[in-house]
Amino acid sequence: MPSERERVVPVASASYSNLVGFIFIFNLIVGTGALTLPGVFAKAGWFLGLVVILLLAIMSYMTVTFIIEAMAGANAIKNWQNLQVRRRTRNSIGNSDDERDLESTPLIGSGAEESHYYQLTHKFELGEMASLFFNDFGRVLFYLCFIVYLFGDLSIYSAAVSRSLRDIICEHDRSNSSDISIVESKTMYQPGNFQSKGNHTCWKDHSISRIHMYRIILIAFNVIFGPIILCGIQKTKYLQMLTAIFRWLAFTFMICIATKLLITDGAKGHPVGVNFYGSPPLFGACVYSFMCHHSLPSLLAPLRNKSKVSKILSYDYIVICMFYIVLAMTGIFAFEHVEDLYTLNFLPDQENSKDFLSGLYVVIDYFLSLFPVFTLSTSFPVIAVTLKNNLQILFLDMSRYESYNLCIRALFPLMTILPSFCVAYLTDSLSTLVAFTGSYAGTGIQYIIPVCLLYFSRRTCTELLGSGIVNHFQSPFKSNGWLILVLIWSVICVVLVSINLFH
């Protein structure tokens, strides 16, 4: 049964078209995970990587449709509760005629009532749906998983941006990036087992180290973008659209450059077909690369034509999956060694920029090296706002949010930024952060939570509304067998990753 205490976040009245919604979702999904795919493909093998990314794309889309149906169910319950309040109000003022008319109206049957109940008009964050459908124990588990994931997400974003800027600003030795033996991809993956150059100086004639430069940039990034979480998603609308153009250009440049290297120089990379020891970062990166579930409600509510939401998401997943495969396959064969952040394979070499064409390549390399800065800086506020909203839902009564003093409300932006900043401050290892965040918390967010939300949403709506009202936002994967399949798949993923991580 739904909780008596409704906690609702006010929804902005602004809306956007299907195309803008497509762009927003594209921007949300394609982030750091995409830039780590070539590296994990090289470790796990090209065939294993291809199979896993196709399977995880299908499973991720399936659970996205679960979230949509659960959100429509939450709207139906809210509308049902509002109807009960109106009935009690009319009864209390003694309007017996109106009451009899209202009571005589069937709860089930008309198409108008069906469309009235199941909607996506009101934004329900995942935390609100968990409070609506889960018991106390379930809510604790949900928030534990959700908060750990989002904190890890923000840590990865901060580390990726800071590391990219650090490697562009500091001097780099391009010769070291291609002297890695093929045997490296056959070794067992160990978290944190990477060669850190953090103690090296940033420039030959200066004493500041690369790790100190990384931390200076990290502090500046959080100081600049931290206050943006006080603003809504709508305020980054045009920046999101501009970033989408940058993403398409960056992917096109990376694929074209890698293809050119394959044509002119031949295949320098010789990845194995299957290497199960490389599966932990592969599973983590693939789960992470298709993640949009945590912020999906915030993007769906302002969508103008919500009847097309499943089709929009399917287009997003198809386009993104194709780009991921082409990006990873060209990268692992074009480069002898693929960095854990793929854009670092395109660091500019100014010494050879003597003619126009070479200078153009340097400009493109700078653009690609700065690509994580562009792409993650626009997604960072979206993820941060989602985390802040869910922290507020957990600790505050949102029905009287305005009654809390300013100090209490200002505490939540700090709670959102500081933990992720501390994690990113202590390590710049993206492979470790992505492996743990994607494989554990990511599995919970992308698989287990959507299944549980959908199951309890269906059960609650059936109890309150009956089975005669059709949910037009129902997932195409209607059978409970799909729910069981997703749960089994998530357990298999976690077990395999755990064995390879800690064996």
Domain ranges of the chain: 18-502
Residue keyed to tokens 């194709």: 322
Whole-number pLDDT of residue 354: 61
Residue keyed to tokens 């939450």: 74
- Give the residue-averaged pLDDT of 332-350: 82
Task: State how far the alpha carbon of 217 is from the alpha carbons of 197, 327, 368, 385, in Å.
Answer: 16, 28, 18, 22
Task: State how far the alpha carbon of 117 is from the alpha carbons of 114, 310, 330, 476, 486, in Å.
Answer: 6, 19, 48, 19, 28
More confident residue, 232 or 178: 232
Query: Among residues of the chain, what percentage have pLDDT more than 70?
Result: 81
Is the pLDDT assigned to residue 11 strictly greater than 50?
no
Query: Among residues of the chain, what percentage have pLDDT more than 90?
Result: 16
- Give the residue-averaged pLDDT of 195-216: 76
Is the pLDDT assigned to residue 485 strictly greater than 90?
yes
Whole-number pLDDT of residue 453: 93
Least confident stretch, 66-80, 98-112, 382-396 = 98-112
Whole-number pLDDT of residue 55: 93
Least confident stretch, 27-36, 251-260, 417-426 = 27-36
Q: Write out the two tokens for 479.
A: 């059978």
Q: How far apart are CA 182 and CA 269, in angstroms?
A: 8
Instruction: Let me know: does 327 contact 37? Beta carbons within 8 Å.
Output: yes
Whole-number pLDDT of residue 439: 74
- Residue 18's CB is within 10 A of a number of other CB atoms, namely 17
Look over the chain and give the mean of its residue pLDDT values, rounded to a whole number: 78
Least confident stretch, 35-39, 131-135, 182-186, 327-331 = 182-186
Predicted TM-score (pTM) of the model is 0.75
Whole-number pLDDT of residue 349: 64
Instruction: Let me know: does 117 contact 76? Beta carbons within 8 Å.
Output: yes
Q: Write out the two tokens for 253.
A: 């440049």
Q: Write out the two tokens for 99.
A: 């009451």
How confident is residue 414, by pLDDT bands cut at 50, 70 and 90? confident
Q: How far apart are CA 166 and CA 212, in angstroms?
A: 9
- Give the residue-averaged pLDDT of 65-70: 92
CATH code matching the domain that covers 18-502, chosen among 2.40.50, 3.30.70, 1.20.1740, 1.10.238: 1.20.1740
Is the pLDDT assigned to residue 180 strictly greater than 80?
no
Which range scores top for mean pLDDT: 131-135, 389-393, 484-488?
484-488
More confident residue, 137 or 97: 137
Whole-number pLDDT of residue 172: 63
Whole-number pLDDT of residue 322: 92
- Give the residue-averaged pLDDT of 465-477: 81
pLDDT in tens, 216-269: 999 999 888 877 766 655 455 676 677 778 888 888 889 999 999 899 888 888
Whole-number pLDDT of residue 318: 94
Q: How far apart are CA 111 and CA 469, in angstroms?
A: 8
Least confident stretch, 28-42, 92-106, 128-142, 388-402 = 92-106
Is the pLDDT assigned to residue 4 strictly greater than 50?
no
Least confident stretch, 105-109, 256-260, 279-283, 300-304 = 105-109
Is the pLDDT assigned to residue 144 strictly greater than 70?
yes
- Give the residue-averaged pLDDT of 454-463: 90
Which range scores top for mean pLDDT: 1-15, 98-112, 418-432, 488-502?
418-432
| CB burial string 329-363: b at 16+ within 10 A, e below | bbbbbbbbbbbbbbbbbbbbeeeebeeeeeeebbe
Is the pLDDT assigned to residue 53 strictly greater than 90?
yes
pLDDT in tens, 304-319: 788 788 888 999 999 9
